[in-house]
């Protein structure tokens, strides 16, 4: 039989883990620091494990605490979902909202949309993380995920929305082109300094070239003078006049507008990866989830939509 004892201290534990200190958790929950400390101690005693590693200056979850935190946030999320769904049609977006964004695209494109949305909804508590790895929203307890690329087939528990495709172009700085000339054909790139994207394992990502038929692309690994493992790092290298790179337009839109970067070989521009919104279907009825999905759909304007 389920015992209500199992719920005691969970909200305090999650708040302390989110806050990173008992003092901050006490302020958020309008309790004393002693009350927070005692609640955590009782919870650890009941579970028979240490949940936090404490020092005078820091508070960090143990491995057991991390696993328990993931479970607890799922439990609290389900309780919140059950409660808010009862009056979802009339409720303001509120409460904790977990969002995971790809690193560069998230910072430059999605984050401004989310921050404007949060400023319009004072009761919303966004928790935003950045990662380029694939995550399972259900397992990781994330409400909404924005991803560059992804599968065409999604698990039944997840909803998804296609936002459009990247557009990849070749670009360089005016200073570089003045010194080295402007390429007119793809074969001209072989005599230029190419700036490519590379991974930690040493592999270099190929460049995409439009094929002879509409919608057709071919991939080639170019001899690169510079290889960088970060898109924004590539932009820095191109701005410095180091060479030519192939980059998505969302990453360099400001530089193209102000003329610090120039598109070359426009006839070879291609579509890149798809941009997708992914979320836990069972939480879509919550105002905070449905409203932010709509805001991201409207705010992230990409080619192909």
C-beta pairs of 51-59 under 8 Å, 24+ apart in sequence: 51/13, 52/16, 52/17, 58/20, 59/16, 59/20, 59/21, 59/22
Q: Is 123 exposed, middle or buried (0-12, 13-18, 19+ CB in 10 A)?
A: exposed
The pLDDT of residue 92 is 82
End-to-end CA distance of the chain: 52
The pLDDT of residue 3 is 55
Radius of gyration of the chain, Cα coordinates, nearest whole angstrom: 24
pLDDT, tens digit only, all 305 positions of the chain: 445 666 778 889 999 998 888 888 888 888 898 899 999 999 999 899 999 998 877 789 999 999 999 888 888 877 776 666 655 545 788 889 999 999 899 999 999 999 999 999 999 999 999 988 888 888 888 999 999 887 666 788 889 899 988 899 999 999 999 999 999 999 999 999 999 999 888 889 999 987 667 667 888 898 899 999 999 999 999 999 999 999 999 999 999 999 999 999 999 999 888 899 999 988 888 889 999 999 999 999 776 55
CA–CA separation, 102 and 132 (whole Å): 5
Q: Residue 16: enclosing H or E segment and its boundaries?
A: helix 10-19
Helical residues (DSSP H) of 216-286, grouped into ranges: 231-239, 249-258
Q: Classify the phi-psi angles of 229: left when phi > 0, otherwise alpha if psi is within -120 to 50, otherwise beta.
A: alpha
The pLDDT of residue 195 is 97
CA–CA separation, 157 and 275 (whole Å): 19
Of 252, 90, 265, which is closest to residue 192 (Cα–Cα)?
A: 265
């Amino acid at each position: 039989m389920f015992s209500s004892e199992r719920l005691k201290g969970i909200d305090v534990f999650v708040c302390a883990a989110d806050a990173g200190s008992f003092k901050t958790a006490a302020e958020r929950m309008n309790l004393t620091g002693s009350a927070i400390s005692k609640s955590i101690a009782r919870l650890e005693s009941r579970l028979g494990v240490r949940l936090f590693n404490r020092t005078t200056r820091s508070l960090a979850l143990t491995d057991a605490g991390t696993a328990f935190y993931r479970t607890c946030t799922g439990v609290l999320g389900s309780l919140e979902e059950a409660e808010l769904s009862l009056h979802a049609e009339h409720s303001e977006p509120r409460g904790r909202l977990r969002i995971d964004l790809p690193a560069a695209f998230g910072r430059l494109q999605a984050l401004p949309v989310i921050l404007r949305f949060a400023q319009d909804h004072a009761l919303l508590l966004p928790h935003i993380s950045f990662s380029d790895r694939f995550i399972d929203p259900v397992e990781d307890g994330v409400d909404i995920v924005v991803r560059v690329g992804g599968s065409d087939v999604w698990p039944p528990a997840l909803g998804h929305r296609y936002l459009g495709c990247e557009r990849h172009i070749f670009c360089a700085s005016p200073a570089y082109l003045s010194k080295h000339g402007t390429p007119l054909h793809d074969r001209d790139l072989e005599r230029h300094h190419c700036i490519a994207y590379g991974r930690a394992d040493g592999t270099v990502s190929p460049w995409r070239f439009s094929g002879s038929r509409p919608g057709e692309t071919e991939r080639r690994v170019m001899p690169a003078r510079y290889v960088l493992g970060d898109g924004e790092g590539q932009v820095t290298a191109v701005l410095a006049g180091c060479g030519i790179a192939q980059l998505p337009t969302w990453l360099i839109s400001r530089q193209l507008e102000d003329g610090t970067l120039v598109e070359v070989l426009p006839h070879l521009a291609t579509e890149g990866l798809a941009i997708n919104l992914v979320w836990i279907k069972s939480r879509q009825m919550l105002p905070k989830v449905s409203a932010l999905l709509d805001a991201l759909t409207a705010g992230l304007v990409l080619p192909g939509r």
